[in-house]
Amino acid sequence: MIITQVLAQNAEKYKNETALVELAPSLDQRRTLTWKEFYNVSNRFGNALCQQGIQKGDKIVQLMTNCLEWLPIYFGILSTGAWAVPLNFRFEADKILLCTDTAEASVFIFGEEFIEKIDQIKNKLDKHIRLWIFTGPKAQCPDFAIQYETFINEQPANPIHNVDIDKEDDAALYFTSGTTGTPKAVLLTHKNLEHACQVEQAHHGQTHEDIFLCIPPLYHTGAKMHWMGSLLVGGKAILLKGVKPQWIIDAVSQEHCTIVWLLVPWAHDILIAIENKEIDLSKYNLSQWRLMHAGAQPVPPSLVETWQKYFPGQDYDTNYGLTESTGPGCIHLGLENVDKTGPGPIGLPGSGWEAKIVDKQDELLFGNESGELIIRGPGVMKEYYKNPEATAKTIKNGWLYTGDIARYDINGFIWLVDRKKDMIIYGGENIFPNEIENFFQNNSKIKDIAVIGIPDDRLGEIPAGIISVKPNCILCESDIIEFQQDLPRYKQLKKIFFGDVPRNPTGKIEKPKLRRIYARDKRKDLKKLLR
């Protein structure tokens, strides 16, 4: 059953029950949609698109922050047979142009936050875009666009019947986060999206009574695919606009949330707020909160240990996934494996998935040998759109080559080592930054750390660390040097910087940005020495 049919089923079965709640604490605003309203609005939007000549296979860009309109618009697009093309709302104008051109989109939907960026590139976008839809207030609607409510006004709420959609049909074009370079266009089918519902529900056992708190951006496969487990059972979801620790705990308490997916920095911030007495847990209704799961990056064992101290009895889980696997779940820790938490063990193949670890010759590896993690299952993307060369390198005989280095332990559990592209070659030795980052996460004064390779004329690359210190804590370079003495000498940081660790909206470290900043500094240092 494709996901638009699941929505129709929920609208019939749960009609006037709440499907979505938008919370905007900074505006003291709460908006809701029932399942019937959700379905009707998506149908009205789909019918409005069809009236404008949108056909199966057309591409429609969504550039929106999380809001109550996001999912109905997404489902409305899918109902027409067109492709949904959600864009990262942090993309600069040039990336927005690149992605829209790649998709050859004919419709562009955007919020008021993006007017300035669109103004920079609109003359170039007009070669493809024939319809602009603005989701912000009518008073702010640019002259070239039609306002969303006006667009769907007086449209029928009945479903579109003259479009046949098959599971194998193309459904959505997602762009990778670009943490390793230019974003790639990942083409997903309706079958991929259907499997995302099934794998999430199989892993976390959502029931109709569960209430899911969704904080990460909906443009990304991670947040939306986790929510799809709730979609499958008609469970309520809370869309929280903001990541302040107080807002998160307030939302869980006031909305009676039972499942929360957190990125690691947000979990860290909650724990810091608790430890600093900014949050008093005794004042909140949290007994119903049964599951916290984290993902999108390695989860430090110290974080899980501290979390369980403050939230005893609460289940914890983590998933591994990527855009090319239709989001999380291809490798799954499992609620029963909480004793294996930490930045290394990621679990076993998820529901419907297979996994192997292979060497450069595609030979199967066992034991403690490190190789590339490859996966196979119903969530594997169709292709990198318009990029057959990259597709051929990534998908071979149905297996998706993740680009991540992993190993098995003696029990067949999969451990993530690092990304191939992040590996540092130091004097002929291979260093995986993730191993060093994991080590430093044991320092109670470190909030976050990123390790990158900096060019070195003699050794090729040297490991450098960018360290973010927790509030009210003091760390200096000598403290770091002393702390790292337990690391093998070749893995010790040769350069130490204190500063912010930039992460994208899905929690991944933006290492290309750090390399541009700190590798450039290194080159300047070398030039000074040569003078």
> What pLDDT, on a 0 to 100 scale, did the predictor assign at position 428?
61
- Name the strand (E) or helix (H) holding 77: helix 70-79
Q: What is the mean pLDDT of residues 338-365?
A: 84
Helix (H, G, I), strand (E, B) or coil at 261: strand
Average pLDDT of the segment spanning 272-298: 90
Q: Which sign, positive or negative, has the C-alpha torsion 284, 289, 295, 298?
A: positive
The pLDDT value given to residue 339: 67
Give the end-to-end CA distance of the chain in Å, rounded to a whole number.
68
Give the pLDDT band (50/70/90) at residue 176: confident
Q: Is residue 92 in a domain?
A: yes
Q: What's the pLDDT score for residue 508?
A: 75
- Report the alpha-carbon angle 42-46-49, nearest 5: 140
Residue of 467 and 424 predicted with greater confidence: 467
Task: Evaluate whether residue 87 is within a structural domain.
Answer: yes
Amino acid at 227: W
Report the pLDDT averaged over residues 367-385: 93
CATH number of the domain residue 450 falls in: 3.30.300.30
What are 337-348's pLDDT values in tens digits? 766 655 567 889
pLDDT, residue 26, reads: 94
Instruction: Give me the number of domains the chain comprises.
Output: 2
Strand ranges (E), 359-409 = 371-376, 383-384, 395-396, 399-408
pLDDT, average across residues 223-243: 95
Q: What percent of the chain has pLDDT over 70?
A: 93
Cβ contacts of 221 within 8 Å, gap of 6 or more:
174, 196, 321, 323, 326, 327, 328
Average pLDDT over residues 256-277: 91
If you average pLDDT over each of 18-32, 171-185, 308-322, which comes out highest?
A: 18-32
Query: How many C-beta atoms lie closer than 10 Å to residue 502's C-beta?
Result: 17
Q: How confident is the model at residue 277 (pLDDT cuts 50, 70, 90)?
A: very high
Cα 362–chain centre separation:
29
Quick one: angle between helices 3-14 and 221-233, nearest 10?
40
User: Beta 59-63 vs 107-110: how paired, if at all?
Assistant: parallel
Does 66 map to a domain? yes
CATH code at position 66: 3.40.50.12780
Of 158, 190, 222, which residue is a domain's last?
190
Residue with structure tokens 């240990």?
305
Domain that holds residue 164: 1-8+24-190
Write down the pLDDT at residue 524.
Answer: 45
Q: What is the pLDDT of residues 179-211, one digit of tens each?
A: 555 789 999 999 999 999 999 999 999 999 999
Identify the residue with better confidence: 335 or 483. 483
Domain assignment of residue 509, yes or no: yes
Query: What digits encode the pLDDT tens for the residues 112-122?
Result: 999 999 999 99
Confidence of residue 420 (pLDDT cuts 50, 70, 90): low
The pLDDT, as a whole number, for residue 236 is: 98
Within a domain: 324: no
Which two three-digit tokens encode residue 492? 């010790």
Confidence tier at 152 by pLDDT (50, 70, 90): very high
Q: Where are the beta strands (DSSP E) in 44-184?
A: 59-63, 83-86, 107-110, 131-134, 146-147, 170-175
Which one of 130, 158, 190 terminates a domain?
Answer: 190
Report the SS3 class of residue 151: helix
Q: How many CB atoms sit inside 10 A of residue 185's CB?
A: 21
pLDDT at 233: 97
Tell me which long-range contacts 167-170 makes (C-beta under 8 A, separation of at least 24). 167/2, 167/191, 167/194, 169/56, 169/81, 170/57, 170/83, 170/382
Does residue 220 form part of some domain?
no
User: Is the pLDDT at 22 greater than 90, yes or no?
Assistant: yes
pLDDT score, position 411? 79
Residue at token pair 């450069």: 360
At 335, the pLDDT band (50, 70, 90 cuts) reads: confident
pLDDT of residue 528: 40
Q: Is the pLDDT of residue 25 over 90?
A: yes
- Domain final residue pick, 147, 174, 190: 190
Q: Domain for residue 38, yes or no?
A: yes
Q: Is the pLDDT of residue 34 over 70?
A: yes
241 falls within a domain:
no
Q: What is the mean pLDDT of the chain?
A: 90
What pLDDT does 530 receive? 33
Could you tell me which residues are beta bridge partners of residue 455?
461
